[in-house]
Amino acid sequence: MAQNKCFVNELPAELLGEIFIYSIQGSTPESMWKVISYQCTLSHRRAPLSLTAVCQLWRVLAFGTPKLWDAISPTYNSIPIVKFWLNAIPQSAFHLRIAAGKKKSRDNMEGACAMFRLLSKEYQRWRSLLIELDSLVASEFLMFLKSITLGSLTLDRLEAVVPRGPCSEKVIHEFLSLLSSFSCLEHLNFESHSFTSFTIQDIPWPQLKTFRVLHESTVHQFAHYLSQSASATSAEFQTNYILGDALTTPRNHYEPPLSLSCLTTLILGRGTDPLNLLAHFTLPNIQDIILEVGHRNHSALESFIKRTPSLQSLLLQDSFNDWGDSPSASYDEIVDWLTHDYLYCLPSFQLNFYEAHTAGVGLIKNKVASNTRFPSLTCWTAKRNVRGWMPTDFSVIGWHNTVKGGHGVYWTFSDGEFRFTDFFYRENEWDNEPKF
């Protein structure tokens, strides 16, 4: 019998390195940029440390594969194993996530603080930082920032999350006031889930290239923040409540509309009063916009679209209003978006509302029966590549120059007729054409 032989080591180094990378991928938390998957469990028995103990070839290859070592979330590990990790890995930069977890017990928060103190000694190696600013970690982080020369902090990406629960308004305000000293900072995700009230005017808006902000601000504050974001290529503001006066009578009216020439992607939650907000800006290079409808203003949107020939894709998320801060909408009013011909010039228009793939059929049929005209439409499952107020997969109705048929398409509508796909029947567990 021929002697068994292992052929793994005969694989090209590049391929074996890719296999190593897949060995550490799993259900790890991701950053908003989706390019960072953090390793949460650091152990001698798990990859990548276990890979270095197989043989000399694997050890050399593992240490020569930077992606194995470039992102950690070490909070639930012991201090000794993290110290070993730092001593063992190549002296290269890494992405860091510090979080006390969902259960904000004092032990968990103190553990996160201890881990941060250990990792803060390596701050010059941080490529990015994701940090949950609970009451203890926020104070620890602020003390760290005050103890170093901020010009030596080379972070270009920062995610800071203020979780639900009590937090010090003074500490958060001081932290935000120091952000302008982060000379390399270009990408920011700031989320506030706390009921503590504080402003975010100290965020260095002019230097940011991309940002996502979830915070309860007035519509005028959002307009002011956006007006300062002259360098941003991607901007996202999220909030649920429309606070303050509507932008139909703004205190800071931009006439003519203020131009933001760098912006190519814009996402606005309903609390920003997005349709009225757009009336005060010109975005000559914008390509993709996602809006959650607050106050409806067709004339403002039509005017914006006519002066924005660069716009390639518009996604509207509309729903019944049960917040009490803007006029409520019926299903009929929501579907009416599809009948406005000023939208037909867009290469891609997508309308999302609750159960659009089923409810939309009956609504369109009823309007066709009353002689309402619709363009050719498609209903499909769209995807978002960033975190936000919308699920990763959701159904939309509209048109898109790259959507034809097949997987992900529920139905098409043309010349007054619906054509349902196998995907529609499979997803809804129907055997025959549905009756709406």
Q: For residue range 182-215, what is the model confidence (pLDDT) as tens digits?
A: 888 999 999 988 777 788 999 999 999 999 999 8
- Residue 388 above 60 pLDDT? no
Adjacent-strand bridge partners of 394: 382
For the segment 372-387, the average pLDDT, to the nearest whole number, is 78
Adjacent-strand bridge partners of 259: 282
Q: Which residues contact 199 (CB under 8 A, 6 or more apart)?
A: 173, 217, 221
- What was the pLDDT predicted at 397? 93
Rounded to 5 degrees, what are φ and ψ at 393?
-110, 135
d(CA 232, CA 209): 4
- What was the pLDDT predicted at 435? 60
- What was the pLDDT predicted at 150? 75
Q: Show the CA angle centred on residue 11, arms to residues 7 and 12, nearest 5°.
A: 160
- What was the pLDDT predicted at 389? 41
Q: 246-255, 297-306, 402-411: which has the minimum mean pLDDT?
A: 246-255
d(CA 357, CA 426): 13
For the segment 405-433, the average pLDDT, to the nearest whole number, is 79
For the segment 396-409, the average pLDDT, to the nearest whole number, is 72
Query: Strand 377-383 to strand 393-400: parallel, antiparallel, or no bridges (unpaired)?
Result: antiparallel
Q: Show the CA angle centred on residue 195, arms to residues 191 and 201, nearest 5°.
A: 55
d(CA 244, CA 296): 17
- Residue 312 above 90 pLDDT? yes
Q: 75-79, 266-270, 310-314: which has the minimum mean pLDDT?
A: 75-79
Quote the mean pLDDT of the chain. 82
Where is mean pLDDT largest: 34-38, 209-213, 293-297?
A: 209-213
Beta strands in 67-118 (DSSP E): 71-72, 94-98
**SS3 (DSSP) at 251:** coil
- Residue 29 above 70 pLDDT? no
- Residue 434 above 70 pLDDT? no
Amino acid at 389: W
Q: Which residues contact 432 (CB under 8 A, 6 or more apart)?
A: none
Comparing C-alpha atoms, which of 179, 129, 126 is closest to residue 154?
Answer: 126
Adjacent-strand bridge partners of 414: 417
Q: 217-226, 294-303, 321-330: which has the minimum mean pLDDT?
A: 321-330
Query: Strand 94-98 to strand 71-72: parallel, antiparallel, or no bridges (unpaired)?
Result: parallel
pLDDT band at 151 (very low <50, low <70, confident <90, very high): confident
d(CA 291, CA 167): 31
Please give the residue that has the higher pLDDT: either 143 or 45. Answer: 143
- Residue 99 above 50 pLDDT? yes
Comparing C-alpha atoms, which of 69, 59, 71, 61 is closest to residue 15?
Answer: 61
Please give the residue that has the higher pLDDT: either 33 or 121. Answer: 121
The structure tokens 């995700």 sit at 189
- What was the pLDDT predicted at 436? 57
- Residue 305 above 90 pLDDT? yes
- What was the pLDDT predicted at 1? 44
d(CA 276, CA 298): 9
d(CA 33, CA 30): 8
d(CA 267, CA 265): 7
Q: Which residues contact 78 (CB under 8 A, 6 or more apart)?
A: none
For the segment 336-352, the average pLDDT, to the nearest whole number, is 93
Terminal CA-CA length for the chain: 69
For the segment 75-101, the average pLDDT, to the nearest whole number, is 82
- What was the pLDDT predicted at 427? 74
Q: Which residues contact 401 (CB under 8 A, 6 or more apart)?
A: 347, 348
Q: Which residues contact 141 (CB under 8 A, 6 or more apart)?
A: 116, 131, 133, 175
**SS3 (DSSP) at 29:** coil
CB 162 within 8 A of CB 191: yes
Rounded to 5 degrees, what are φ and ψ at 265?
-135, 130
Q: What is the pTM of this model?
A: 0.86
pLDDT band at 9 (very low <50, low <70, confident <90, very high): confident
pLDDT band at 35 (very low <50, low <70, confident <90, very high): low
pLDDT band at 401 (very low <50, low <70, confident <90, very high): low
**SS3 (DSSP) at 154:** coil
Comparing C-alpha atoms, which of 71, 67, 62, 70 is closest to residue 16?
Answer: 62
Instruction: Using a pLDDT cut of 70, give the percent of the chain over it.
Output: 82
- What was the pLDDT predicted at 249? 46
Task: Identify the DSSP state of 37.
Answer: B
For the segment 318-327, the average pLDDT, to the nearest whole number, is 55
- What was the pLDDT predicted at 407? 56
Q: Show the CA angle centred on residue 273, arms to residues 272 and 279, nearest 5°.
A: 110
Comparing C-alpha atoms, which of 290, 289, 294, 300 is closest to residue 270?
Answer: 294
Beta strands in 344-392 (DSSP E): 348-352, 377-383
